[in-house]
Structure 1
Amino acid sequence: MPVVGFGGFFFRAQDPEGLKAWYGEVLGVGGGFGKDESGQSSPWFWHPEPGGVVFEPFKATTDYFAPDKSYMLNFRVRDLDSLLEQLNARGIEIVTKDEWDTPETGRFARIHDPEGNPIELWEPPAQ
């Protein structure tokens, strides 16, 4: 199989630099975050912790996220409760639902970036 991993996510934004800064400041996502195998960081690359990535097309009629959006980002997190406290302190609206959380899949919360793009925060179950 020639594909060996997820290489990037590119999307349109009204304010690309502002949105890039928001993702970095609020979620620690984007170039310059994390370090590669040799301990180096780069302004272009984000080096997330190793782990599985779900790649799953949804039906066009799904109600799992807003019908006017064609995608939803999902980020793996540690200590979801602490992150939600930080997001709440910034005034970011958070949605949680008991039915989203299971011992098999973990815990979930939803937020939106400043341009309304949906973001799912996922704390996988403890190993």
Structure 2
Amino acid sequence: MAVTGIGGFFFRARDTGALSAWYAKHLGVGAGEYGMWQTQSGPSVFAPFKADTDYFAADHQWMLNLRVDDLDGMLATLREAGIEVITKPEWDMPGVGRFARIHDPEGNPIELWQPDPATG
């Protein structure tokens, strides 16, 4: 008996309708009934970080990481929509993949990850 994947990600929001619509429009996440969408199999990471990490902002207890298949295309679309995109060469890791960061309208951090083809 083992966990087979993440069944959901739940968080509080000031305006659930607007935030759900933003995620569906810009990331294609949770566009289905009850916020469901079909994911592709692939690597997922479940990792607590030290309380004093500087990997993401200290005023947030979590950061959502979404796996994408075309990071450059996604970033171009987000920028066209006026969404600020942050990239740093030091975030990219051979054997792991490439990364970028955005924030949703309520300031929640989102990391976009295109896995290195070697990771599956």
TM-score strictly above 0.5: yes
Normalising TM by the smaller chain, what interval?
over 0.9
Q: Which residue number corresponds to residue 21 of structure 2? A: 21
Of 68-77 and 99-108, more deviation after overlay is shown by: 99-108
Aligned mates of 2:79, 2:108 — CA distance in 1: 18
* SS across alignment from 2:117: coil
One of 88, 96, 99 as aligned partner of 1:105: 96
Residue 50 (structure 1) shift: 0.8
Unaligned runs of 5+ in 1: 33-42
Aligned mates of 1:126, 1:47 — CA distance in 2: 21
Q: Which residue number corresponds to residue 58 of structure 1? A: 49
Residue 126 (structure 1) shift: 1.9
Residue 29 (structure 1) shift: 0.2
Percent identity of paired positions between Structure 1 and Structure 2: 61
Q: Which residue number corresponds to residue 40 of structure 1? A: none
Structure with the largest fraction of helix:
2
Aligned mates of 1:29, 1:2 — CA distance in 2: 25
Q: Which residue number corresponds to residue 12 of structure 2? A: 12
1:1-127 alignment, distance < 5 Å:
1-32=1-32, 43-44=33-34, 45-127=36-118
Q: Name which one, 1 or 2, has greater alpha-carbon Rg.
A: 1
Task: Give per-residue Cα distances to partners, 1:9-62, cap 9 Å, x unaligned.
Answer: 110000011000000000000042xxxxxxxxxx12211111121000001100
- Kindly indicate whether structure 1 or structure 2 has the higher relative contact order, using CA contacts under 8 Å at least 6 residues apart: 2
Detail structure 1 runs of 4+ shifted over 4 Å in the superposition. Answer: none
TM-score (normalizing by structure 1): 0.87
TM-score (normalizing by structure 2): 0.92
Unaligned runs of 5+ in 2: none
* SS across alignment from 2:112: strand
